[in-house]
Structure 1
């Protein structure tokens, strides 16, 4: 079944990474997909190799030329399913109520719903998000929960890992805490820096080091915070990584300190997939996905002291880490596999077309 997928962002973030991963998985499953992305965006320049795609202006949600470009491209497509991601692409697309195509809007966050109400159906990646959409007035029979899947683990050569260890000057005694995400307020990195400063330089015989994957508007304030706390010498600012695979392989432990509005948190799934112990905060997505003490160690949001105490608990306890890793891998296999999620999308698309 052919489907058209529209996203209007300029830079890479969690939603854009999901867009890329999802379409790659659809292609692997033999689905006929076509991406429509913003001209000269990060997605267009670096991330869509092997995926058929077009580029449009996606300038602003009020721009008549952008609306016309979107309308013309979609009208010329023979794809019965047209799926939009986030606000800009959704607001620029208005299909006829009784036309031949179905407009599916996928929400990845708790956005204001007014710009999304004209779609024919909505997808939320957590049940909590779906419940919120229904409470906000969207018809329950047209709101569908389809979760995310974890990226298949990519191999990383010993040579590549050795090169990365050399770049970081990693010693055998070092224990690498890795966090990943845009450097924006909702990701909570300031609380992680606070927690890191509360920990001793060595714990359980290991020297603690923190690797921050990501970039964004808070990059300089966070660096300044690390300097003020006196931990900048043990923090490595890796920047945005188009492929974080080597970093996940190198990590000893994944920390995900997001604040409550975080909807799902793909890093949870990535930690489980790569077999890494996870310490996370109890944001909305983590409360739905994780099971404290079984597949993750979960602490309150916005609390550096609590996050530090969680790390103090997990780092010295090899048995706890191993148990969480085993359970996380089981969760990936049974609940968050690529095959299961792509199958759910196929079933949903077929259902929507039958009902059309």
Structure 2
């Protein structure tokens, strides 16, 4: 089986899942070609799983005109079983080539359908995105296939590497430093836990503001900015609990990564977590932008280790049952065998 991917993301949960899926398909013998932007930090993680083509594919660049012709030529020559674009920008590259099924994978809610004129099937990582595109007027195929992550448990990083003393609670979170991720609120909530330290993996435009928030709440010595990490698992393994504080999160792949390291999770009631998280069974939930509610959840789990262990176990069970590599890859392999006529009236 042959598959060609178009992916122009940079860093974040969607990119981590892209790496997981490319490697998962390779383990099942799928021959893959991927088109990505130059300088991606995760490039080395897919080098042994796919043939890589690098292109900027930006407006006002030669590649904006040349790359679509190159992709069409490769498709006609290689005759792939499927062409797969990742999110809206990459879907603009989808050729009109009619020799195989053409998929656009969505991890968020698109604002219009103009990106997908050559797409047969929109693959949504949670059901509400599928309902959303139907409301926008999408008449072709919709499939819901969620994410998976690496479930191998790893050894924790030493606290000393992050200037964190023994015996204090460690709260961990990660993502792009933008306002909707809720990290400013998380810093304020953690400040209400005596001695707790907060580890934040990621970076972005909000970095200076987050440093100012840490100073405002007396957290400068207790908030540790880890930068982008190629592998966050050892930090997760060292943490006592994980928090996903976003005001908007279509799925929440970071929660799956925390569950893989068997950590208790606290999450906002964003779109994705509302779908697969259940109060006091596999996590604790708080209302979006509710700092006090988040602080209560934090204090509850730090004080009640029995509850923390229960929801960590429940999260891991949910991960293995609902988000396993085998189930997700099986679904994609099945989809790759279908024909455009199955979805076009």
Q: TM-score, normalized by length of structure 1?
A: 0.90
Aligned residue for 2:20?
21
Q: Is the 8 A contact 1:314 1:321 kept in 2?
A: yes
Shift of 1:93: 2.1
Aligned residue for 1:204?
none
Aligned residue for 1:200?
193
Aligned residue for 1:51?
49
Deviates more, 1:247-256 or 1:326-335: 326-335
Q: How does 1:207-286 map to 2 (within 5 A)?
A: 207-259=195-247, 261-286=248-273
Report the Cα distance in structure 2 between the residues aligned to 1:94 and 1:263, rounded to whole angstroms. 27
Aligned residue for 1:288?
275
Q: Is the 8 A contact 2:42 2:230 kept in 1?
A: no
CA offsets, 1:198-245, max 9 Å, x none? x132xxxxx311000111111111111111221111111101101112
Report the Cα distance in structure 1 between the residues aligned to 2:23 and 2:189, rounded to whole angstroms. 37
Deviates more, 1:118-127 or 1:223-232: 223-232
Structure 1 residue matching 2:230: 3-state secondary structure: coil
Aligned residue for 2:6?
6
Aligned residue for 1:176?
170
Shift of 1:107: 0.8
Shift of 1:61: 5.1
Report the Cα distance in structure 1 between the residues aligned to 2:203 and 2:269, rounded to whole angstroms. 23
Aligned residue for 2:95?
94
Q: How does 1:279-318 map to 2 (within 5 A)?
A: 279-318=266-305
Report the Cα distance in structure 1 between the residues aligned to 2:276 and 2:54, rounded to whole angstroms. 36
Distance 1:76 1:184, change over 3 A: farther
CA offsets, 1:222-280, max 9 Å, x none? 11111122111111110110111210111110011011x31001111112211101111
Q: Is the 8 A contact 2:122 2:142 kept in 1?
A: yes
Report the Cα distance in structure 2 between the residues aligned to 1:262 and 1:86, rounded to whole angstroms. 15
Instruction: Specify every segment of 5 or more residues in structure 2 that has no aligned partner in the other structure, as ranges.
Output: none
Report the Cα distance in structure 2 between the residues aligned to 1:286 and 1:226, rounded to whole angstroms. 27
Shift of 1:171: 2.9
Q: Is the 8 A contact 1:85 1:106 kept in 2?
A: yes
Shift of 1:67: 2.7
Aligned residue for 1:336?
323
Structure 1 residue matching 2:200: 3-state secondary structure: strand
Aligned residue for 1:38?
37
Distance 1:154 1:53, change over 3 A: farther
Deviates more, 1:33-42 or 1:101-110: 33-42
Shift of 1:26: 1.1
Q: Is the 8 A contact 1:60 1:66 kept in 2?
A: no
Corresponding pairs, count? 339
Structure 2 residue matching 1:88: 3-state secondary structure: helix
Instruction: Specify every segment of 5 or more residues in structure 1 that has no aligned partner in the other structure, as ranges.
Output: 202-206
CA offsets, 1:50-85, max 9 Å, x none? 122222323325722233333333333221200000
Aligned residue for 1:118?
118
Report the Cα distance in structure 2 between the residues aligned to 1:283 and 1:188, rounded to whole angstroms. 11
Distance 1:79 1:61, change over 3 A: farther
Which aligned runs of 4 or more in structure 1 are off by greater than 4 angstroms?
none
Distance 1:185 1:72, change over 3 A: farther
Structure 2 residue matching 1:59: 3-state secondary structure: coil
Deviates more, 1:186-195 or 1:112-121: 112-121
